[in-house]
């Protein structure tokens, strides 16, 4: 008889609850910037969950690590503004541009977890999750990575232990380059900006714990 949930099952439940919370927040008289941040946090956590459940190690493929699950955002994809995508770069091209790479939306299996992917999922595609286009949905005018992810290619990936990594996995030459793992003393900061102001999201090194920061730089409960 089963007596307890596994850690991965508990993580999955927490992630799904977070995504549901982002989906059901009323759109009237709300802070759209904060609503966007809640959604992004939920999706970064879900990316980590996928990485922990789908170990990409393959002893028959020397470049297996290039296919790690990642969260990537773009300035625009055609007319789509500030979309982001959750995917595993199976083709090792550095972008989500092949069938089977983009995660399925767990709340609507007919949709993919992308607001738009260049040359692949564009405006008008019925499989696009429109709310993941932050500019169009929430009025986001800029996204920026700083801290431990400063100067990298608009993305963050996770290994099978849920540890965050900086940069584009397709440019790795080994599974664990010393400069790619995010250190615990220098977390990644993802800042969303709109006409309402800006809000920062912190992704901790080692654990990958992700949260919205208050004005004092402390994690809000979300």
Q: What angle do CA 96, 99, 160 make, to 5 degrees?
A: 60
**CB neighbours (10 Å) of residue 127?**
13
pLDDT at residue 26, as a whole number: 43
- Which residue in 197, 199, 195 sits closest to 220, CA to CA? 199
Measured CA to CA in angstroms, residue 98 lies from 83, 102, 103, 158, 222 at distances of 17, 8, 12, 20, 33
Q: Strand 142-147 and strand 210-212: pairing?
A: unpaired
pLDDT of the chain, 222 residues: tens digit per residue? 445 556 556 556 565 666 655 554 444 446 999 999 999 999 999 999 999 999 999 989 999 999 999 999 999 999 999 999 999 999 999 999 889 999 999 999 999 999 999 878 988 999 999 999 999 999 999 999 999 999 888 999 999 999 999 999 998 888 888 889 999 999 999 999 999 999 999 999 999 999 999 999 999 976
Query: Other CB atoms closer than 10 Å to residue 72's CB: what's the count?
Result: 22
Residue 68 — φ and ψ, nearest 5°?
-60, 150
Q: Would you state the structure tokens that stand for residue 197, as one six-digit string?
A: 């102001």
pLDDT at residue 178 in the model: 80
- Rounded CA separation 78/123 (Å): 8
Say what the pLDDT of residue 115 is.
98
pLDDT for position 28: 40
């Amino acid at each position: 008889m089963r007596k307890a949930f596994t850690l991965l099952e508990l993580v999955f439940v927490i992630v799904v609850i977070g995504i549901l919370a982002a989906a059901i927040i009323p759109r009237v008289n709300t802070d759209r910037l904060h609503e966007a941040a809640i959604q992004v946090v939920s999706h970064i956590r879900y990316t980590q969950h996928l990485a922990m459940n789908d170990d990409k190690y393959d002893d028959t493929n020397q470049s297996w690590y290039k296919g790690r699950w990642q969260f990537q955002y773009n300035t625009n994809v055609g007319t789509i503004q500030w979309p982001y995508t959750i995917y595993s770069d199976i083709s090792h091209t550095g972008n989500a541009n092949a069938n089977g790479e983009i995660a399925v939306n767990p709340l609507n299996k007919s949709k993919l977890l992308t607001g738009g992917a260049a040359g692949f999922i564009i405006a008008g595609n019925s499989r696009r999750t429109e709310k993941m286009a932050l500019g169009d949905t929430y009025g986001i005018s800029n996204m920026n990575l700083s801290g431990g992810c400063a100067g990298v290619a608009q993305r963050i990936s996770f290994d099978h232990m849920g540890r965050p990594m900086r940069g584009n996995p397709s440019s790795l030459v080994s599974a664990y380059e010393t400069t790619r793992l995010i250190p615990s003393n220098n977390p990644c900061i993802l800042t969303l900006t709109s006409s309402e102001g800006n809000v920062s999201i912190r992704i901790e090194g080692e654990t990958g714990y992700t949260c919205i920061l208050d004005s004092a730089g402390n994690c809000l409960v979300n």
